[in-house]
Amino acid sequence: MQRNSTRERWFAARRNTVSGLIIDHLARRTSADTLSDLIGTTMGDVHLLPGTTFSNVAEKGAYPSEKASVLTLVELERWLALQVGGVYHQSVHSSLLKPPAAAWQDGLARRRQAPRKPADPQTFFLDFLPEEWRLIRRDGIQMFNIHYWDNVLSPLAGRSSKPVLIKYDPRNLSRVFYRDGDGHYWPIPYRNLGAPPISLWEQREAMKRLRAEGRRLIDERLIFETALTQRKLVDSARKSTRKRRNKERRQHLQAINTDTQASSDSAHASEYASPPPFGVEEWS
């Protein structure tokens, strides 16, 4: 079955009672009011990072985004968290006339009751992950050409013709999450417990490479081997790029220091150079 749209996932999460309370609270302002300011400001800051692709091709021009990029995906996620929590929410907002964090605290102080929090933070997090509908076959669940299995699936394995909801974290495909009829999520690991954790992007790149090599039948062993090989190539390239950039930076600083020293020496020499002799009249 096709993956649910973002809107459908939003309302699916809203069915969770606690999640619904939080979303209802946010819905009192339109999404444009609540999120547009944050997204617009943050994306403007993102375009200042080295390696940005800008908003469109015209703005990007001839800028070498790939060559200039320095952050990994994990580092970018951390940067975004710091930018939102440490910069945006602590800076004076043009409409609020105060930092958003201060406005939030003022709002909490006016409430008669403390805001309710999710009863289970893990469930709240999983509600917003992407999802797929899958049949539980005799050998478990298959997603991304990878098999998943846990004994909790035994009662349904090969016995049900009704697809079930499976959540997954694109950053780590080493396990998926099966939601039972009561709304409880069960972590389902790789069937091969010795396989390495990989991301969805690594899986896609591995599949692309294997198909480019003419592989028609692709098993998960090849996916993991290819993903690990590509990961080593990226790590090696990152280290060599870092060394090259450090070398270029040192050479650049050395050139600046050399030019500065030469200019200083020239000025120093001019300052203390012997003055030209005065003209002398001869009297006979």
Query: pLDDT value at position 31?
Result: 42
Pairing of strands 146-148, 164-169: unpaired
User: Between 243 and 122, whose confidence is greater?
Assistant: 122
Residue 224 has pLDDT above 70, yes or no: yes
- The three-class DSSP label of residue 91 is coil
Average pLDDT rounded to a whole number, residues 36-65: 74
Q: What's the token pair of residue 11? A: 């309302």
Quickly state the pLDDT bin for 184 (edges 50, 70, 90): very high
DSSP character for 216?
-
Grade residue 133 by pLDDT with cuts at 50, 70 and 90: very high
- The residue-averaged pLDDT of 266-280 equals 60
Residue 174: its pLDDT value, please? Answer: 95
Nearest CA-CA partner of 59 in 46, 78, 71:
46
Whether the CB-CB separation of 69 and 50 falls below 8 Å is answered with yes
User: What is the side-by-side strand order in the sheet with 172-179?
Assistant: 131-134, 164-169, 172-179, 185-189
| Residue corresponding to tokens 């990961």 | 231
Instruction: State the pLDDT confidence band at 26, using cuts at 50, 70 and 90.
Output: very low
Indicate if the pLDDT at residue 45 is higher than 80.
Answer: no
The answer for residues whose C-beta is within 8 angstroms of residue 190's C-beta and 6 or more apart is 146, 147, 148, 149, 174, 175
200, 170 contact by CB (below 8 A) = yes
Q: What distance in Å separates the CA atoms of residue 67 and residue 53, rounded to the nearest whole number?
A: 11
| Domain residue ranges in the chain | 6-120, 129-241
Reply yes or no on whether the pLDDT at 2 is more than 60: no
Of all residues in the chain, the percent with pLDDT exceeding 90 is 28
C-alpha–C-alpha distance, residues 182 and 177, integer Å: 14
Copy the structure tokens of residue 207.
């599949």
- And the tokens for 48? 């200042």
Please say if the pLDDT value at position 211 is more than 60: yes
- State the Cα–Cα distance between residues 246 and 249, nearest whole angstrom: 5
Statement: the pTM of the whole predicted model exceeds 0.75 = no
**How far is the C-alpha of 189 from the C-alpha of 191, rounded, in Å?**
6
Locus of tokens 């020293």: 261
